[in-house]
Every structure is written in C-alpha cells, then in structure tokens.
Amino acid sequence: MMATKDNEYRKLALDSSNCLMDWDGQWGLGRYEMATEAVLHAGQMRQRMGQMSLKCNDSEAATEDWLSSAKCFVEATALKPAAEMLRLIQQLEAAGRIPPERQDLLAALREREEQVRRLERRIQEFFDRQPTPTQPDEQSLAALLRQVRELPGLSQLHRLIAQQASGLGRTELAAVHQHWAEVFSQDKAKNGPVERSLPPPIVDPNLASTAPKDR
C-alpha cells in the first residue's frame, strides 16, 4: 500500500510541476485562460497530495502540499478551493500538528491568508463595479475583456463576456468564454481534477488575447 501511495504521490508531484511550467509558459504567451486552467489543475493535484500525506500521518508534508495548493488556487482566481486549503491547514495548526520548529510553514500560512483576503477583495470590487445590466454594447464588452488578465479564472466574468458577445452577434467569442465559464465553475473546481480541455477555435484574429505583460 505504501509503495502504491509513493508511486501515486510522485506522479502527482511530477504532473503538477509540469502544469506549473505550462502555466508559466502559457501566461508568457498571453494565453491567460489556458495558463489558469493549468495552474488550477496543479492546485487540485497538490490538494490530493496533501490528502495522501495526512492519511500517512505526515501533517508536516500535508501542510506543505496544501500551502502549495492554496497558492495555485489563488493564482487561478479560485477563491473557494483556496479558502478550503487554508481551513485544513488552520485545523492542523489548532491541533498542534505543525511542528513548532517549522516557523516557515506558519509564516507561509499567514502569507496565504493575506493572499486569499486580497483575492476576495479583488473579486468583490469587480462585482461592485458592474453597472446595472443594459443592452449589450462594444464598450461594455471591451471593459470586461480587459478584466480577464486580472481575474482569469472567475467564471462569472467569462459568463458576462459570453452574454455580451452573444447579444452583439459575436458567436465565436461568446462560445470561447462560455467554455471558460464552465471550466472555471467553482463547483467543478472544488470537486477535484478533471480532464484538460480546449476552447472552441477562434477564426477572427481580432479575438486573440492581448500581448502578454509581466504578472
């Protein structure tokens, strides 16, 4: 059983590292949604690694895995899974299961807590800025598209883009963002890894992502 666990754990570690490299590469190319899907999957795999570590009574390794998972979820704009990782680590901390000499883990936990609070504020600010729904128009669509780089994994953002694009007759753009809205659904994200997917192809070159910038 331990050998099976070790093999699965190593595979998850390798696969999640590959996803993180994919995330970095896709982001550099300005493919923000594809990058975000990659880091979301990395977070899901690191979450599973933490579960396996805890099952083997290695709370220190579980803490490391879940801290990494939480960071991935923050990068993926996945607030609920990120908060869930923090809750699990905080339970270990409250139970005294994080070794006192590992102050680095506690410092990283405080850092993740602040990252999650900042993400929550960013998402709330996005919703606070949304005007009362009106007829679709190009200006509103453009404003939403500019938010993709800042909140790439927010399913509600992609759903709003799809609705605006559909109302303007831009069916290709609507299909692409409806796809990403489904990929980044919080319910789907918190249920664990799912198969990577590709959006519908874009024919119109004007719909391509904006030029990449530094994160």
| pLDDT tens, residue by residue, 122-171 | 999 999 998 777 789 999 999 999 999 999 999 999 999 999 999 999 99
Domain limit, last residue, from 38, 73, 96: 96
Distant-in-sequence contacts of 143-150, Cβ < 8 A, 24+ apart = 148/32, 148/33, 148/209, 149/32, 149/210, 149/213, 150/122
Residues 91 and 7 in one domain: yes
Residue 33 included in any domain: yes
Same domain, 90 and 9: yes
Q: Do 56 and 142 have their domain in common?
A: no
Give the model's pLDDT for residue 197: 53
Mean confidence (pLDDT) of the chain: 88
pLDDT of 205 over the 60 cut? no
pLDDT band at 195 (very low <50, low <70, confident <90, very high): very low
Q: Which domain holds residue 38?
A: 2-96
Last residue of a domain, one of 96, 115, 144: 96
Domain-located, residue 109:
no
The pLDDT of residue 214 is: 42
Residues 144 and 80 in one domain: no
113 found inside a domain: no
Burial code (b: 16+ CB inside 10 Å, e: under 16) for 118-155 equals ebeeebeebeeeeeeeeeeeeebbeebbebbeebbbbb
How far apart CA 179 and CA 155 sit, in angstroms, is 10
Q: What is the pLDDT of residue 208?
A: 41
- What average pLDDT does the segment 35-53 reach? 97
- What pLDDT shows up at residue 191? 42
Question: Which of 50, 72, 96 is a domain's end point?
Answer: 96
The yes-or-no verdict on residue 209 having pLDDT over 50 is no
| pTM for the full predicted model | 0.85
For 57-105, how does the pLDDT look when each residue is reduced to its tens digit (9 = 90+)? 999 999 999 999 999 999 999 999 999 999 999 999 999 999 999 999 9
Q: Which residue from 179, 183, 181 is spatially nearest to 200, judged by alpha carbons? A: 179
> Does an H or E element contain 178, and which?
helix 171-183
Q: Taking 70 as the threshold, does the pLDDT of residue 199 lie above it?
A: no
Q: How many domains does the chain have?
A: 2
The mean pLDDT value for 176-196 works out to 71
Beta carbons within 8 Å of 33's beta carbon, 6+ residues apart: 148, 152, 158, 180, 183, 199
In whole angstroms, give the CA distance from residue 145 to residue 208.
11
Is 110 a domain residue? no
* Percent of the chain whose predicted confidence (pLDDT) is above 70: 83
